[in-house]
Every structure is written in structure tokens, then in C-alpha cells.
Chains A and B, each alone.
Chain A
Amino acid sequence: MSNIPAELKYTKSHEWVSDNENGTVTVGITDHAQALLGDLVFVELPETGKTLEAEEPCAVVESVKAASDIYAPLAGEIVAVNEKLEDEPELINSDPYGEGWIFKMKLADPDALASLLGADDYAAEADQ
């Protein structure tokens, strides 16, 4: 069974979202998603400063068997990206909720966080 931390928020497209409590969030892909993808070999990071709509594709993770888009969980602006992933994409496999974070964004509407899935709802999604 994959690890789904209770304190995080989730999307149906398998991103996790961590509230940094300063108007920004950190985004990555879930343990469940990294397990499905297999060994990651490349991450195309978004550009810092880019403004995104909710559910807009903004990054790509590529594994030995597939390439998958990463979507902005909510509307906002990219404020940081995890450049370590350029050389070590496998960090997403080894530590999806920690060193494998992908980007941080400043939310257009911080209250929109509440609209994302909680851990139990995501666990039900991932089970399907």
C-alpha cells in the first residue's frame, strides 16, 4: 500500500500539495504515482515566474516506460523549482514527499486549497 500522508492535499491527477502557510504551496507527485511510473529518468521543470491556470500542464516526468504531464493543482505563479531533479530525477522515486518535490507556487486564491482532495478521498481515488 502506498504512502499517503494525512497532512497533505491531493489532486485526482496524482499531485500532492503541501501548504507552506505563507500563500505558497509545494507540489510533487504521490508515492502511488511514482510507483506506477517506475524509475524516473528525466524531469522537465516549469519556468519560475510562469503564471498557470488550475489543471494546466506545466511539467513532465519521464520514466523508462512513460512520460506523464504534471498539472498545476490550482491557479497561481511558479516561485521555485527543484533544480536538483535535473541531475537526480530518481529523488522522486526515493523520496516523493521530501527531496522529490517538483515546484512551489504562489496561489492566486489561497482559499482554493480547501477544494483539493484530502488524504482519505485521494486514497479512494488511488484505489480505483
Chain B
Amino acid sequence: MPFIPHTPEEIEQMLAVIGVDDIEALFDEIPTDIRCHSLDGIPEAASEMEVAREVRRMAARDSGALNFIGAGAYEHHIPAAVWELATRGEFYTAYTPYQAEASQGTLQLIYEYQTMMTGLTAMDVSNASLYDGASALGEAILMAVRVHRRSKSKKILLPQSVHPAYRDTAETIVRHQGIELVSLPVDAASGRVDPASLEAFSGEDITALVIPQPNFFGVLEETDALTAWAERNGTLVIGLVNPFTLGILKPPGEWGGDGADIVCGDGQPLGAPLSSGGPYYGILCCKQAHVRQMPGRLVGRAVDADGKRGFVLTLQAREQHIRRSRATSNICTNQGLVVTASTIHMALLGPTGLRNAAAASLANTRQLVERLAPRGITPRFSGEYFHEVALRFDRPVAPLLAAMAKQGVLGGYDLGQTDPALADTLLVCVTETKNDADIDRYVEALDNALES
């Protein structure tokens, strides 16, 4: 039997049975003006050898340079054991298995992952993960609207200090659902949301407030004050966090008086390599009271008929195979493989390892800032930063970055790309992967660029 089932003869036979001349005729009822007749930019089919060569060429563009770019994706040390274990045949699937309960090992791993996430965030519940941080924010907003039934406005306060790509993704996901994303300005001096600016919304029906921590500019938001305002105003809090920083920062479950209601973020910093932008995975946690509105899969621990421990998919009545169109989300899967790696990564590091890596990143970033201060290059914002900092220059940074790249140093993210008013501002991240010699190389490359 041929591997590809549809031979020309078979296609002809099938068409003859239904009385159609050719396959194109099957699509007659789709108006021609809405059909996509060609795929611009998609090249002709290529052989395996040609594709491998092209992929190697693309991969080579990533390697070699010394990387100081963060802006949503972070380079961290991943112990060799992580992917060695994650790519074992027993784990090597990207998917939550069908007949999930027959795969106790996979379910136990997801259960461990959920347990670690709730520990990191100090929330009650974690799901089995979503696709990435940006779509997790979109899902968190949809979830907040479902949870907060008393709030009729469906208005969400979304600070401009949230990653621009996340804001775009959230907008795409929620815009046809009658949800209004209200842009919340950032204080130009501190680089974060001024809690006093929320007073303008006091007494107004606001469904939820998004709090990024750290924010896109690397600055720490005043999470306690922002959460306290939300609690007073009957507004839910969606925490958008970098989980790596929770080795040190106060977890969102402890913000303000009662903590965040929903927490989302991207899990990439915990065990996933940069790999040109993905695959990463999304985190979603919440308070117990909100769990029935949580999208995605949930693994629970149970006992079988003999009283032995077992793992099951739980609260499945939320999901689309049971609730159909009224499910909490169209997401019925998770980023299984990356979560596997991430769980092993967290288990290897443990709370102490995670704290040490975060502390080393923080110290390295401060070291670079100190080294650059004598050159008149200083943090643009007065708000405290974590392992990423926005530095202000006396000129546009784009040409400097190009000159540094020629010397093998990726010097940071040009904030002018997202806001022309910040063309003189560079977002730099120095993780634990960098040593003193690397920071020397950065300074040298930058000095060369400034002189040229």
C-alpha cells in the first residue's frame, strides 16, 4: 500500500463516483474573490537535502554572537540533562496524549509542572500550559471577563508598559468579543504605571487590570499599590510575569491584600532555548475560586479503585469535547514538550538554583550599568529594574547596534522600533550566562561603535 493514499487513479475513481470532473470543481461554491489564488513568498517545493541546507543557513545566523537582547525572550543556562531527558522517547511528544490516563508518566510530569508553577506564583491552580505568553495574556483577559460576571463593562486596563507584541496579540484575540482594552499610560520619568493615575478610573466599572512584572522596559511595577487599587475598585488583577524573576520577586499571589486573580506569562526563560523565537509556552494560574473559567487542560491527583495514587485530567467539563461552543476556550492542549523540559529544568535548579540564577542576572545587569555610567549612558527611567534595563544615549541607537553586531555583539533591543520617541533608548539584558570578559567585550564593542 502506498504511503500517500491518493494516487491519480484513486482520485479519478472518487470524482467519478460523485460525478465531478476535477477537484477544482469541489470549490466552486466559494466566491473567487475571497479565494487565495497563490501564496506569495512561499517558494517552490524543495528536496530534503535542499531544505536541510537552507535550515542550516538560517540557524547559522543565530549562532556565535554574544547576545544582550531580552525584550521578551531570555538567554539562560540550561543544564545539559534537561533536553537529554526531555527528548527521550518516553517524553518526546508535543501533545497531551489522547487516552490521557493511559500515560501516567506524562500526566505526573504535568502535575509536577503545575505544582511548581503554583509554588512560584503563590497561586492556587495552574493549568497544563498554553501556547505562549502573549496568547496566555489574551486567554487571561477572556477568563477575567467570564469570571467577573457582575462587571458589565468588559473594560480591561492594559498598561503601555506591557510588551507591544503581547498587546497586539491580546487585541487580536479579544477584539471581536465586545471587550475594550483601555490603554493605561506609563509615567515618563519612572517607566512604570503611576498608581495615582488609576484614580481617574475609581468608581468606574473596570473588569480587570493587567500588571506586568517586570514590565517591557525592565522596570518593576508597584504591584502592591496597583493591586490594592483594583481590590478597592472591584477590579480583577491579571499579573503578567516573567517566571524567572519569581525566584526573587514577590509572587503575584501575594500582591496587595489578596493577590492577583489570574497570572500569565511566558515560560521560555525556564528551560527553553531562544531558537529563533519558539516554540515557547504560556503560563496560566489562578485562584481556586476562578478555576471553572480557566481554559486548557488540568491534571489532578486521584486514587484508583485499589486506593493507589493516580493522575487524571480533571475538570474536563470546561473543555470543548464536552461543552462544545460554550467551552472556556478552544484550547484543549498544551505545549507538552517544552513544558517537559521546563519541569526538568526547574527540578534541577530548585528554588535555590533559580534564586541564584536570578540574582546573578540582576548583578550582571547592574555591573554593565555601572560600567557605562562614566560615558554618560544611564538608565532612562528612575523605576527600579530587574535583569533588563532601558539605557538612554545621546544619539539614535540603531546605528550603534549595527556597528556592535559587526563585532559579534548583539547589544540590545532598539526601543525606537516600538516607539519613535525612544529611538535614543536601548533595552539591554545581561543574564547569568555572561561573565566579566563578556561585559568587557560589550563595553569595548560599544566604545568602538560610539567612536566610529
Contact = CB atoms under 8 A, between A and B. Distances in A.
Tell me whether A and B are bound partners.
yes
Interface of A: 42, 44, 47, 57, 62-63, 66-67, 69
Contacts of B150: 47
B317 A47 contact: no
Interface string B406-447: 000000000000000000000000000000000000000000
Interface string B320-334: 001100100000000
Most B Cβ at <10 Å: residue of A42, A62, A63, A69: A62
Interface in B221-239: none
Please name the 5 residue pairs, one residue from A and one from B, whose CB atoms are nearest each other, closest first. A67-B317, A62-B317, A67-B323, A67-B322, A47-B149
B355 interface: no
Contacts of A42: 292, 317
A93 to B, nearest CB: 16
Query: Mostly helix, strand, loop or mixed at chain B's interface?
Result: helix
Nearest to B323: A67
A44 B323 CA distance: 14
Contacts of B317: 42, 62-63, 66-67
A73 B149 CA distance: 22
Contacts of A63: 317
Nearest to B150: A47
Nearest to A41: B317
Contact of A66 (B149, B322, B326): B322
Most B Cβ at <10 Å: residue of A47, A62, A63, A67: A67
A57 B150 CA distance: 17
A44 B326 contact: no
Contacts of A44: 292
A44 B292 CA distance: 9
Contacts of A69: 326
Contacts of B292: 42, 44, 62
A47 B7 CA distance: 58
A62 B326 CA distance: 13
Nearest to B149: A47
Contacts of B322: 66-67
Interface in B111-158: 149-150
A57 B149 CA distance: 15
A44 B328 CA distance: 13
9 contacts: A42-B292, A47-B149, A47-B150, A62-B292, A66-B317, A66-B322, A67-B318, A67-B323, A69-B326
B303 to A, nearest CB: 15
Nearest to B291: A42
Contacts of A67: 317-318, 322-323
Contacts of B318: 67
Nearest to B293: A44
B93 to A, nearest CB: 27
Interface string B274-296: 00000000000000000010000
Contacts of B323: 67
A62 B322 CA distance: 11
Nearest to A57: B326
A92 to B, nearest CB: 15
Contacts of A47: 149-150
Contacts of A57: 326
Most A Cβ at <10 Å: residue of B150, B292, B317, B322: B317
Nearest to A46: B149
A45 to B, nearest CB: 10
Given A42-B292, A62-B317, A67-B317, 12 more contacts: A42-B317, A44-B292, A47-B149, A47-B150, A57-B326, A62-B292, A66-B317, A66-B322, A67-B318, A67-B322, A67-B323, A69-B326
B66 to A, nearest CB: 53
B287 to A, nearest CB: 15
A44 B147 CA distance: 11
Interface in B296-321: 317-318
Nearest to A61: B317
A103 to B, nearest CB: 14
A37 to B, nearest CB: 11
A83 to B, nearest CB: 14
A85 to B, nearest CB: 14
B297 to A, nearest CB: 16
B322 to A, nearest CB: 6
A31 B317 CA distance: 21
A57 to B, nearest CB: 8
